[in-house]
Amino acid sequence: MRPIARAAVVTRLMKKPSPSSGTPRDLSRRTFLGGAAVASTLVALDVQAQPSANSTPPAAPRGSAFELEEATLAGLQADLTSGKHTAHGLTERYLARIQEVDRGGTALGSVIELNPDALAIAAALDAERKAKGPRGPLHGIPVLIKDNIGTADKMQTTAGSLALVGAVPSRDAFVVERLRAAGAVILGKTNLSEWANFRSTHSCSGWSGRGGQCRNPYALDRTPSGSSSGSGAATAANLCAVSVGTETDGSIVSPSAACSLVGLKPTVGLVSRSGIVPLSHTQDSAGPMARTVTDAAVLLGVLAGVDPSDAVTAASQRHAHADYTRFLDVNGLKGARIGVPRERFFGYHPATDALIERALDVLKARGAELIEAPIPSAAKLDEPELEVLLHDFKADIEAYLAGLGERTRLKTLADLIRFNEEHRDTELAWFGQELFHQAQEKGPLTDKKYRKALEACRKLSREQGLDAVMAKHKLDALVAPTQAPPGLIDLVNGDHWLGSSSTPAAVAGYPSITVPAGYIAGLPVGLSFIGKAWSEPTLLRLAFAYEQATKHRRPPTFAPTADLRPAKV
């Protein structure tokens, strides 16, 4: 099974080419409550199970600066070691920050539920540190995880849908086991595009029936993108140290780019999907979302590993690393050969192109050689990808529901469709479930149409795609804008996407990483490095060198809207 991502490919197939550029509008749309009292000093988080109206966002909160703003894992560990902070104290501060920013004046809507045991867990980790020392770089560190990642505790695992409220898994997802073993404090679950944005052909990213609409902390009327929208918005807003998202196609890199974060979508098989509400076993992956490349590398080392419950991870035994920070090199761009696939992944937004051209200049100045490297087969991926995702989703979600046993009465995709119809006022208030209906019409994974589409996806994305272009030009990686700046939230009409570069790596099951590349009208833009299978060390090296050369990341201001004065890029 697998974790999540987005239903983006659907819109690409439905929308016409952009009249301004002639290139496809390659949109990448990805995302009861769980309020919990976590301490007597905090008011219970009350997440309302109702859609949020597309109203004017509130003004930014006023008050003193947050003590832990832009804190890094290394910095937090140093404070824990020195005694300046405790895990309990850090947890209290982040919980208070969530209460103020997420549920307070900003109404960011990024956290769907808090962990009622977070403070007790933190206190136990403090005692363990005192008695035995730290387990590693995540010991006592507050982390948020996406609400499709299973936890066998007092929290829900719903993929944002009211249909799964009460269907608590019998065991933690493998990545949660890894986090707990590393000593992380799981603060809670993040909001997302419901069902990983694989429900409607015109959904609004960041909206779920359970959590309402999540907003972008850089401009509150803008999309946080999806489907790991809550993980992106929360991490950008300093509501946690780092977070975990999931991706099928764009759902880690898209919200990371939209929220000025580093987001790494690993090779399929490097990080287990067991215990995560699935979309597609062929493309799903969980991965780190962080404010720095170093923190993403640390978190990846914790998440990666072989899981007997996810057979595809067996291949990672020769490729996984416990410490990815050893690959980080400030001079890592020197001598690198980097391909630039302009033909499909540039040209949909002039201001984004101008910003990325500056990024390319930085790459060259730091010693990289840039090679024009089109990927002609990428234009043929949309139709077979959608066919695969529709088949995979039906098979994978029904397998997941079966695994819940008596904890849910819903056993089939048809049951989920019926539930949504019976709860139209909450689940179908803003958009429908066209993709659910399309998936319901599909047969088993033995169907010839599915096998043909899967073969086409692998051939077009791998041997005729990334493998071919990288071998031809002897490339270390490809680079492209992750996407255009985040668009306006529009619950009535759905997302408006111009373009993205996530699909080739997503369909191939290969890694990609996005890193902040600057801002347009105060809205974040990301630069993506894309590689071959198991090339995470190389991508982290390149992304780190670029990050250190530019240091574009800056914290959000929670502005009500974008700065629309005469544009400066």
Annotated catalytic residue within 193, 208, 227, 256: 227
Query: Which two three-digit tokens encode residue 171?
Result: 């065991």
Q: What angle do CA 220, 201, 514 make, to 5 degrees?
A: 55
Q: Examine the residue annotation and report whether 251 is marked as an active-site residue of this protein.
A: yes
**CA separation, residue 324 to residues 241, 263, 537, 541 (Å):** 18, 14, 7, 9
Exposed/middle/buried for residue 374 (C-beta within 10 Å: 0-12, 13-18, 19+): middle
Q: Is 405 helix (H, G, I), strand (E, B) or coil?
A: helix
Q: Examine the residue annotation and report whether 110 is marked as an active-site residue of this protein.
A: no
Annotated catalytic residue within 251, 260, 528, 535: 251
Annotated catalytic residue within 28, 146, 231, 442: 146
**DSSP assignment string, 288-336:** EEESSHHHHHHHHHHH----TTSGGGGGGGGT--S-GGGG--TTTTTT-
Q: Which residues neighbour 514 within 8 Å (Cβ) at sequence distance 6 or greater?
A: 253, 256, 257, 261, 262, 263, 482, 526, 527, 528, 529
Exposed/middle/buried for residue 434 (C-beta within 10 Å: 0-12, 13-18, 19+): middle
Give the CA-trace dihedral at 332, 338, 344, 349, to 10 degrees.
50
| Helix locations, 85-228, DSSP H | 87-97, 118-132, 174-181
Beta-strand ranges (E) seen in 147-229 are 185-190, 207-208, 212-213
Straight-line distance from the first to the last Cα atom of the chain, in angstroms, rounded to the nearest whole number? 42
Whole-angstrom Cα distance, residue 422 to residue 265?
36
Whole-angstrom Cα distance, residue 503 to residue 276?
21
Which of the residues are catalytic? 146, 227, 251
